[in-house]
Amino acid sequence: MTADHPIVQMSGITKHFSGTRALEGVDFACFGGTIHGILGENGAGKSTLIKIISGVLQQDSGTLRVNGDVVSFSNPTQAVDAGVVCIFQELSLVPDLSVADNISLSAPPRKFGLIDKRAQHRRAEELLAGIKCEDVDPNALVRELSLSRRQMVEIAKALGKDPKVLILDEATSALTSRDVETVYGLLGELKAQGVASLFISHRMHEIEKLCDTLSVFRNGQHIETFAKGTHSEGEIVRLMIGREVTAHYPPKPPPGHKPDYLEIDDLAWENQLKGINLTIGKGEIVGLGGLDGQGQKELLLGLFGVLRGMRGKVSIGNTPSQPKSPAEAKNAAMRIALVPEDRKTEGLMLAMSIADNLLAASYERVSDGPFINAGKAKQAVDEGIAKLQIKVSSPEDVVATLSGGNQQKVVIAKWLMTDPDVILLNDPTRGIDVGTKQEIYKLMRDLADQGKTILLYSSDYAELIGCCDRVMVMYDGEIVANLSGDAISEEAIVAASLNMGNAVPRTTPGMPHA
Ligand SMILES: Nc1ncnc2c1ncn2[C@@H]1O[C@H](COP(=O)(O)OP(=O)(O)OP(=O)(O)O)[C@@H](O)[C@H]1O
């Protein structure tokens, strides 16, 4: 297939889910040797589109062509056979199998009818080396790996299938900055080999840097496809959300001392937290920055009572507050909430309804004695949905039917419904569209204005700069910079992230990406 002929072509594709219009009359094409970005708000239909291309879902009507042939994939294996390989935002790895087993799960190398373990191991090593992941042991169980390593294994697995069309659905959002650069490089190589990559991300900078062509979807419709560089960022956002977007971050209050509230004194855990001292005021938003894996997540988990064997002292409003479990952390005495990183494993009960998930951490707030008050419960659910603008047909639908970004909003709403005093946020806007991100930034500032204390870890340094009153940069388990006011700048965060003292680098190797 030449570059003049689409490798994937969709005509008049429509897909409905009991009452929800996911796609309506979509015409779409992508070409070999290009990286094609797909943009749209949460629930716009992006994942549905790529699930149809990759055989996970079948359209209600319309035609799909791959390499010029009309195809009707009944399952992903048929799509893989036609060269269409998809890396989903939800990982497909089996946690209790080894990395090598996972990588060749669908077609393990065989010898005399048995799985050839040596060949399988070698193949995993080669594929992992190709994406600079020599540190991942092919014999390790997937459950032992961090989220970012798991995502890289998922990428290795996809590459092993020799794709002609490679689809990445939010596949870089959980990666470290170094891995993101590796994946960018890889997509460039695949492009030179004539592979078409379809790339879904909510990070505009990522899309603009990487993609040759962009397509915008809104409310299940294909709005426009255009070449990179022909539209400004503002125009693209307007196409995505159908209205003008102005200020990205709510204004910050002038710097000033807020009464001390959360006091962390010499907190240490294993070799990942090395004596953290930090005091956060009532009504203050403090950001945690730095390269991925410097102890930021452990600090949040430690404060929430997840880590065993932590040393040091923590107090909230002068009362010692070292919860031994998340249940204790959220109880009336401590009122701490943590919005977790991985919504699938930590945040949601996928088989349960949206309403049940929203109420999961705050049943006692909507109960009269031992009984749930249906009216109060309904009101709390409706408020949560409205506050986070969660796109649902009915709160009684199973939460798994929501789009990825809308599931993330359920997790955030669930924790806010506990009415916490201290809110710990672990990269909360991952996978969330630009319009809703702004709502969340505004919500954070409103909560701070109401006197809540907020500690935010973000892998997006623009978010730290835009949202936080102060930013603590962590390096190797320690806080190496405490930035406030005008001192919160990209240069200062970069320099501190690399532990460079006052030397500000001109380039920013391995920085958290915006
Ligand atoms: N299995 C399903 N059952 C019911 N509704 C569904 C199902 N899958 C998707 N939907 C609905 O279809 C619409 C489009 O969802 P889709 O996942 O394609 O959005 P998206 O653009 O990928 O969003 P996000 O950026 O949040 O991942 C949403 O309203 C979603 O709730």
Residue 405 Cβ contacting ligand 1 at under 6 Å: yes
pLDDT of residue 89: 62
How far is it, in rounded angstroms, from Cα 37 to Cα 228?
Answer: 9
186 exposed, middle or buried (CB, 10 Å; 0-12, 13-18, 19+)? middle
Cα R_g (the chain), whole angstroms: 23
pLDDT of residue 332: 73
How much is the pTM? 0.73
For 458-481, b/e burial (b = at least 16 CB within 10 A) is bbbbbbbbbbbbbbbbbbebbbbb
pLDDT digits (tens, 9 = 90+) for 278-334: 999 999 999 999 988 899 999 999 999 999 999 999 999 999 998 999 889 988 777
pLDDT of residue 377: 93
- CA dihedral of 172, 177, 183, 186, whole degrees rounded to 10: 160
Pocket test for ligand 1, best of 53, 354, 403 (most atoms within 8 A of CB): 403
Torsion angles phi and psi, residue 478, rounded to 5: -130, 155
pLDDT of residue 344: 60
In the chain, which residues have pLDDT < 70? Answer: 1-3, 89-91, 244-247, 342-346, 500-514
Instruction: DSSP letter for 249, please.
Output: S
Residue 48 Cβ contacting ligand 1 at under 6 Å: yes
pLDDT of residue 118: 87
pLDDT digits (tens, 9 = 90+) for 200-238: 988 777 888 899 999 999 989 999 999 999 998 888 888
pLDDT of residue 27: 97
Q: ipTM, 2 decimals? A: 0.97
Torsion angles phi and psi, residue 250, rounded to 5: -65, 150
How far is it, in rounded angstroms, from Cα 338 to Cα 325?
Answer: 12
Residue 45 Cβ contacting ligand 1 at under 6 Å: yes
How far is it, in rounded angstroms, from Cα 244 to Cα 239?
Answer: 9
pLDDT of residue 511: 39
pLDDT of residue 34: 96
| Ligand 1 geometric centre to CA of 391 (Å) | 9
Find the farthest-apart pair of alpha carbons in the chain and give their distance in angstroms, rounded: 73
